[in-house]
Structure 1
Amino acid sequence: MRYLLIIMLFVLAACGSPAGDDSAEDSVASEATTSEEPSEEAEVTKETTEESETETNEDETKEPIPPEERVEIIKDERAGIIPERIEVPSIDVDASVKHLGLLDNGEMAVPESLHDTSWYEPGYKVGAPGNSVIAGHVDDTVNPGVFKQLHTLEPGDEVIVYGESGEQLTFEVYDKQLFDADEAPVEKIFGYSQRSLLNLITCEGPYDYDVGGTPNRWVVYTELVNSEES
């Protein structure tokens, strides 16, 4: 506030003069002359306004962009579905899909029934960007499980998943790999991807009763190729 008052005092001092001083008339005359002659600032403002009006007129006369030259805006609509049933025609699989998470030991839970599969629910929805995972038993050492023949799938084979609202997603096998259970690439199997991937998992090898499992894992990699709504 102090600085503001000082500035105001200087302004007032410049505007006034003692009564009867001839310099006052000269000052008034000078102000009158100055007000009649356009300042450089006024000329610059006028030029700027004229340029702005010219640019506006030019914009109004521009032709619209032809449709073939316009950029297509592509939106990612892959929200994914909650799987309820899975079909793998080439190995005669038609099974329900349970929704399971992790066991206390950190392993992916699997269904109690040999004939059901399980979707890893904490992971990605089926059909969404990312690696969704569905697992199934290979056998119980005596009876065959739902994924007994999973290892026989080849690139091009189809996997069809049905959602709880009737959605139907078709995936296509593009690769398969056999891993040691302790060395499987978890990030590649369960992690994020810009592609909509579905990985099918089952066990392989002789059952080890001391460990309570088999030593290896088959992973069949599939990618979304078609989606339909009923």
Structure 2
Amino acid sequence: MTGKRLLLVEDDRSLADLITFHFERAGYHVTRTGDGEEALILVEEVKPDLVVLDWMIEGISGIEVCRRLRRRNTTANLPILMLTARGEEDDRVRGLETGADDYITKPFSPKELVARAGAVLRRVRPALAAETLDYGGLEMDLAAHRVRRNGQPVQLGPTEYRLLRHFLENPGRVFSRQQLLETVWPHSEEIELRTVDVHIRRLRLALGEPDLVRTVRSAGYALDADGLA
């Protein structure tokens, strides 16, 4: 699945179901929990593009989850949108000062929530909202589904296109085979890990630059133009 990854931290099951429905319909891949401690673990496992975080949740509070995420180097810049029934100005200011990128008060329109989330991503991670992705001489036109390498067309199969898009949205970041499998392949539970290696080879061949997709020993793969001569 190539959609943006969302971690939803909400302990109201019916509200979580509603939010999940609207985000999935908008193309997001949603992981959810109602527990603050579990949320901190899932952030490292799922590596979401965005966190939608309720202030009042089980275990540690949403505001504390936000504070801890901002203290970690790996999540210091992770986009966070907070949900809360607290509507007072002081509470909103506290949430934003803790590190939330935006704040929406219950009750809210799910469509507005999705729109606000998209606005946060465009502001904080513009590559995820762009119509064109560029990196290391590669250009991907998301609307036309076309790829160019140094101005020349690149012919890719559907799986190689999804792989490359995922890499272009996260340049330099290392992904394990399992992470790529779960992100790029629908029904990944039916696919073997070595399938990833096969499609990585095909992608390298199509790009004509094997070192552009770097093998990180015992870790996985990364799109890394720094390694090119």
Q: Which range, TM-score by smaller chain?
A: under 0.3
**Structure with larger RCO (C-alpha < 8 A, sep 6+):** 1
What TM-score do the two structures reach when normalised by structure 1? 0.22
Structure number with bigger Rg: 1
The structure with the greater share of residues assigned to helix is 2
The structure with the greater share of residues assigned to strand is 1
